[in-house]
Chain A
Amino acid sequence: QKEVEQNSGPLSVPEGAIASLNCTYSDRGSQSFFWYRQYSGKSPELIMSIYSNGDKEDGRFTAQLNKASQYVSLLIRDSQPSDSATYLCAVTSSAGGGADGLTFGKGTHLIIQP
């Protein structure tokens, strides 16, 4: 059974600080990794994707991947109140390579305190 684990939170971070979100996955053959942001009552929107070990930066967001440890993280610098949302970690399966959909974690609820 493919599993993606996240701390459900809530994770409370002061405005302007760095928010750090973590995710582990069980399928060692997973190749693609995604972070989606979901506001309450809305659908998920993609904010970061990462495919190789190391860091990938996009604006205030940095995704980190360590395939040996089966660990993915998302850092949000200079956190803003608008970053308050649930962040979903998602991975592809080794069997389907993405064509059979993504496996999602339950999400981490992030609260940015003004």
Chain B
Amino acid sequence: DGGITQSPKYLFRKEGQNVTLSCEQNLNHDAMYWYRQDPGQGLRLIYYSQIVNDFQKGDIAEGYSVSREKKESFPLTVTSAQKNPTAFYLCASSRMQGNTGELFFGEGSRLTVL
């Protein structure tokens, strides 16, 4: 079945550590996205990529980094510069050709900073 796989589902981190969240899709979608969700809040865009080896900052990119070396993969690194990293992180993808904007989501990764 086609879909988006995020790992790990749960992650605990000590302050000052970088962590990398994995996102893999087999939908053959060109565009991929990372969103952050805090309790009682909507989704806020961190980074997105429309094509391999290219990506753009979203609304809250500070303290995060990404790479897009393969079409299928879009990992997110939460760096120690991110002041409040505890959140639910969602990866999504969409088609570019004939794109209506519809996003397909992975199951999410919940990061807790101890």
Which of A's residues lie within 8 Å of B, judged by CB?
4, 8, 31-32, 34, 42-46, 49, 51, 88, 90, 92, 97-107
Contacts and interface: CB of A to CB of B under 8 A. Distances in A.
Contacts of B44: 104
Contacts of A88: 42-43
B46 to A, nearest CB: 10
A107 B40 CA distance: 8
Given A4-B42, A99-B96, A105-B42, 17 more contacts: A32-B100, A32-B101, A32-B102, A42-B107, A44-B105, A51-B100, A92-B100, A97-B99, A97-B101, A98-B94, A98-B101, A99-B94, A101-B33, A104-B42, A106-B40, A106-B41, A106-B42
Given A101-B33, A106-B40, A45 B105 contact: yes
Contact of B99 (A4, A49, A99, A103): A99
12 contacts: A4-B42, A32-B100, A42-B108, A43-B108, A88-B42, A92-B101, A98-B99, A98-B100, A100-B56, A101-B45, A102-B103, A104-B35
A44 B50 contact: no
A106 B38 CA distance: 10
Given A8-B40, A98-B94, A49 B103 contact: no
Contacts of A49: 100, 102
Interface string B32-61: 010100001111110010100000101000
A107 B37 CA distance: 11
Nearest to A6: B42
Nearest to B30: A99
Nearest to B45: A101
Contacts of B58: 101
A102 B48 CA distance: 11
Contacts of A100: 48, 56
A101 B48 contact: yes
